[in-house]
Structure 1
Amino acid sequence: MNTAPPARTGLLAAGAATVTVVLWASAFVSIRSAGAAYSPGALALGRLLTGALALGALWAVRREGLPPRSAWRRIAVSGVLWFGFYMVVLNWGEQQVDAGTAALVVNIGPLLIAVLGARLLGDALSPRLVAGMAVSFAGAVTVGLSMSGGGGSSALGVVLCLLAAVAYAGGVVTQKPALERASALQVTTFGCLVGAVVCLPFTGQLVWEAGEAPLSATLNMVYLGLFPTALAFTTWAYALARTTAGRMGATTYAVPALVVLMSWLVLGEVPGVLTLAGGALCLAGVAVSRSRTRRPAVAPAAAPAAAPRPEQEQEQVS
């Protein structure tokens, strides 16, 4: 039960969302590096096993126990959709299309989250949220078009990225009610474990490819499990439990802008003017969608007039 003041809770949730966005942006760089040595299923399984081990250790140390029975079905569904299916098809899709096209198609996810959240969870679609998402999506389109190579895309890759976006949205909307019954660590730990079980058929590929892969690719896979999975999904769940699914989905529109920056710093890929403009639009849209409408100041009510004292009443009568 959260007993922190609302202002402090909001600040912590915003900080958790920021950690998530930064680490998920770094995942695109690591996936591209590890994906050269690992197949989509093997990379997803290695990432999930690493994340499940780290989360399981933390869960055991904190002694949080098992999630309540009422949360298990939603944890299992979000684990299958988001941790399992999403990671496999996203890894596969990024091998079929260029980074710009992948970022563009996957960023349909936040729009689906807002719509599904409004229909299934009763989340409000405020004008600021809608406007911010429109601006951010325009920025994502700009980044995607500016980064598209023109020759590396395929219909299969676009379909895979679209499936990833649908799985992402379904996982988030399913996870939100589970967080009303279980802690962020419980939901993330057992969701990651479910995803790892779903990916167990890729065990043979993982074992064989791990023996052939360079150390840098394996380290990138371990990094994906520890940080963009174990840590980032936990901070995501913490923040999601304290806001709406639509607002959290809109926050992830900062990812393309951060990917551009990280690719510039880490990979030496200098972004063009159009790419930078698209990244700026993404961040501006996030700022709009996360802002709150200022309530007009309410004038203090006038104090009621004091009742006349008995002697004043006698003076008035006389």
Structure 2
Amino acid sequence: MEKLNTKALILASITVVIWGSTFTAISSGLHGGYSAGHLVLVRFIIASFLFGVTALLPGGKIHLPKKEDILKILLIGWIGISVYHISITFGQLTVSAGTTGMLIGSAPIFTTIIAVIVLKERLGTIGWIGLSLGFLGILMIALGTGSSSSGISKGVFLVLLAAVSTAIFFVFQKPLLKKYNPIELTAYLTWAGTLPFLIFMPGLLQDIQHASMEANLSVIYLGIFPTAIAYITWASALSLGNASTVSNMLYIEPVVSIIVSWIWLHELPAPISIVGGIVAISSVILVNIYGKRENILIKKKIQHL
């Protein structure tokens, strides 16, 4: 069991490092001539093509999904892939890569809220304090995105929508991994999520031709690594290890995002955003570690009553 968990954590670590570079690569593509719609479309055309090739290979591990799961796969793909990536990419038109990484790092806060509402999980005092601190941290991050005259950048709300959608994605993806292997499920969700992106097809070739070499390489990188490989390694980690333990690795993603953005684009979030990011991530740790311990004690007391 220990070996299995170790493998899961290694896969999760690889995923988080790759995903941490995603926001900088998106900024590079946007600054290099791609529109937000064309960037997300090309990225997922590449990923969908790679999964299509995998499906056609002899002995490939991708088979047709069961009929009763098709609607569920479509809905999860549209929420976790389509909504998430449209929100992230358009949000980054006005929000820096490092700040985006910190806001997405708050996703476990929304996962906890979904667990309370949908799964009827209980939260103790520590859990609610942690959530309150988390939203304070998000507010501080958001305040650092705008100028003194404009206030909070509009892109913040899109990035927060992405955080909510990825929280839903993580919660509802796990049960499907009991039926399908990670490559299969990632392929299904990628194909489902790519369909809405086809509305951005007009003018695509002109964008590709006028984009810089760095922008084109960034989009190719996005299609291969964060979109195809990282989603597989994440799904593999979830299938091998405890979901909450594996998800704890997401705490590292904002740090990776800020470092990569600083090295690649020479940009750093505003000081208040960095402080807010520390508060938000600390609150996530508080909720997921101490809040859960308190929750277990509450359940034991209830059982003894």
**Length-normalised TM-score, structure 1:** 0.74
**2:46 aligned with 1:47:** no
**2:252 aligned with 1:254:** yes
Shifted more, 206-215 versus 157-166: the winner is 157-166
Q: 1:147-167, CA deviations, whole angstroms, 9 ceiling, x for partnerless residues?
A: 766567666423322322222
1:30 pairs, out of 25, 32, 56, with 25
Counterparts of 2:97 and 2:274 in 1: how far apart (Å)? 15
1:268 is matched with 266
Cα gap change, 1:139/1:267 in structure 2, threshold over 3 Å: closer, same or farther? same
Counterparts of 1:141 and 1:129 in 2: how far apart (Å)? 19
Larger helix fraction of residues? 2
Counterparts of 1:154 and 1:140 in 2: how far apart (Å)? 11
Counterparts of 2:230 and 2:258 in 1: how far apart (Å)? 19
**Length-normalised TM-score, structure 2:** 0.77
Q: 1:221-268, CA deviations, whole angstroms, 9 ceiling, x for partnerless residues?
A: 110010011011111112223323x55554323221111111233233
Counterparts of 2:162 and 2:182 in 1: how far apart (Å)? 23
Aligned residues of 2:99 and 2:273 also touching (Cα < 8 A): no
Whose radius of gyration is greater, 1 or 2? 1
Shifted more, 137-146 versus 30-39: the winner is 137-146
**2:15 aligned with 1:17:** no
1:63 is matched with 60
1:97 pairs, out of 95, 99, 102, with 95
Q: 1:175-215, CA deviations, whole angstroms, 9 ceiling, x for partnerless residues?
A: 22221211111111111111111111111232221121112
Aligned residues of 1:45 and 1:203 also touching (Cα < 8 A): yes
Amino acid paired to 1:201: I
Counterparts of 2:279 and 2:152 in 1: how far apart (Å)? 27
Amino acid paired to 1:229: T
Amino acid paired to 1:56: G
1:315 is matched with none
Gap runs ≥5 in structure 2: 294-305
Counterparts of 1:230 and 1:129 in 2: how far apart (Å)? 34
Amino acid paired to 1:18: S
Amino acid paired to 1:235: T
Higher relative contact order (Cα pairs below 8 Å, separated by 6+ residues): 2
2:228 is matched with 230
Give 1:69 deviation, angstroms.
Answer: 3.2
Counterparts of 2:94 and 2:278 in 1: how far apart (Å)? 27
- In the comparison of the two structures, how many residue pairs are matched? 288
